[in-house]
Structure 1
Amino acid sequence: MITPAVLPYGDAGLLLEVADTAEVVVLADACRAADLPGVLDVVPAARTVLLVLEPGTELASVRRVVEELEVRAGEGAAAPAGSIEIPVVYDGPDLAEVARLTGLSEADVVAAHTGRPWRVAFGGFAPGFAYLSGGDPRLAVARRDEARTAVPAGSVGLAGEFSGIYPRPSPGGWQLIGRTDSVLWDSDRDPPALLAPGAEVRFTVAGT
């Protein structure tokens, strides 16, 4: 059973703290499905879920409902908020290093990255960036010892348990295994972000 620590977040929010990102995904799904009274938004992060409340909502009443939720760790996640396919050219500058770190061949790294769906756990450091979780655990690798000063938009990387796609050129220390032409953030699109929390992401080899 997932038993989050429930903390007040100012006078219009509750912060739910859990053990890891896997519990975050399950708990956020449960909170969305429960249609909690007075909750405007459910905002997941690496180890927390923030419930943003309507002004004037009694924190104690929402807290009681949250504490009564029966959410079990490891149970099937709710239906994804959507499924997005991301074609990738797997020629990243760190592909060989990831293969070395994991003990896999480069082809096996690609197969592992594309072999199961990922879930958007939470948003990240730039508009459109999403931390993707739930992939093959063999791909868990540390960030680079030295960050790059410039990472091209569309770069697909790995860091810790996560995979991610850089939405725009920026510095970064993720291990880069490929690149995609998918546009992660478009201010003229509704919604602008391609990847929303809870969505399923399936990576494919571009051109196949």
Structure 2
Amino acid sequence: MRIRPVGAHALLLDCDDADQVEAWRAELWHRRDAGELTAREIVPAAVTVLLDGVPDPAATAARIAGWRPRNTSRGADSVEVRVPTVYDGADLPAVADHWGVDVPDVVARLRRTEFRVAFCGFAPGFAYLTGLPRELAVPRLATPRTRVPAGSVALAGPYAGIYPTASPGGWLLVGRTDLPLFDVHADPPARLAPGTRVRLVETR
């Protein structure tokens, strides 16, 4: 892990992989809650963690360099959200073909996977879920759909995701859910936050 200054009051942690991002995300959130770290925002991404609103970046970087993140590989202490999912996505056959299995095997794999929110982006409330082996990464559509319905459960690259609102998108659709994922009037507005464990529970 490498720490770089970003602007006058921010730091960027360059991590080796998604597991290291989650380990540092959890550690920094813990340190902030304990009053050991001052940062307005701690934002994980694919291979970085951004700390914004840091009063003294140089001193903070020196403290972080002396810390070691706790083991969060399973995220056992995090919240779990069970997402009721109907597995009827238009792209299930394409995923099955890419994985070299049949459609019931794809559904079985998704049902038994414990996903974790790695980071959020693309649209408010859209969470990038890790948990599938990297060898099961799937390509995006060559031509994105102009409209993907809200609640669509989809795959792209090594990630799974759920569209919180209707939008264009090029991910492969494997199912759908009626669970609301983003409400601007709720506190917090997004149901899925980094570190949250997610189960895509089959429903009919």
With normalisation by structure 2, the TM-score equals 0.91
1:123 aligns with 2:120: yes
Task: List aligned pairs for 1:186-201, cutoff 5 A.
Answer: 186-201=183-198
Question: How far apart, CA to CA, are the structure 2 residues paired with 1:11 and 1:38?
Answer: 15
Q: Which runs of 5+ in 1 are unaligned?
A: none
1:181 aligns with 2:178: yes
1:49 aligns with 2:49: yes
1:116-137 alpha-carbon deviations (Å, 9 max, x no partner):
2111111111111110112344
8 Å Cα contact 2:22-2:72 kept in structure 1: no
8 Å Cα contact 1:7-1:16 kept in structure 2: yes
Question: How far apart, CA to CA, are the structure 1 residues paired with 2:15 and 2:157?
Answer: 18
Question: How far apart, CA to CA, are the structure 2 residues paired with 1:190 and 1:93?
Answer: 33
Shift of 1:78: 4.5
8 Å Cα contact 2:150-2:164 kept in structure 1: yes
8 Å Cα contact 1:119-1:199 kept in structure 2: yes
3-state DSSP class of the match of 1:120? strand
Letter in structure 2 aligned against 1:61: A
1:109 aligns with 2:106: yes
**Residue 59 of structure 1 corresponds to which residue in structure 2?**
57
For structure 1, which segment, 79-88 or 119-128, has the greater mean C-alpha deviation from structure 2 after superposition? 79-88
Shift of 1:6: 0.9
Indicate which of 6, 9, 20 corresponds to 1:9.
6
Q: Which runs of 5+ in 2 are unaligned?
A: none
1:131-190 alpha-carbon deviations (Å, 9 max, x no partner):
011234453211111111111111000011100001111110001000110111112221
8 Å Cα contact 1:116-1:136 kept in structure 2: no
**Residue 16 of structure 2 corresponds to which residue in structure 1?**
19
1:55-84 alpha-carbon deviations (Å, 9 max, x no partner):
xx2111110111112248x86355454111
Question: How far apart, CA to CA, are the structure 2 residues paired with 1:165 and 1:18?
Answer: 25
State the aligned residue count: 201
With normalisation by structure 1, the TM-score equals 0.89
8 Å Cα contact 2:87-2:175 kept in structure 1: yes
3-state DSSP class of the match of 2:40? strand
Question: How far apart, CA to CA, are the structure 2 residues paired with 1:137 and 1:204?
Answer: 22
1:38 aligns with 2:38: yes
Shift of 1:47: 1.2
1:69 aligns with 2:67: yes
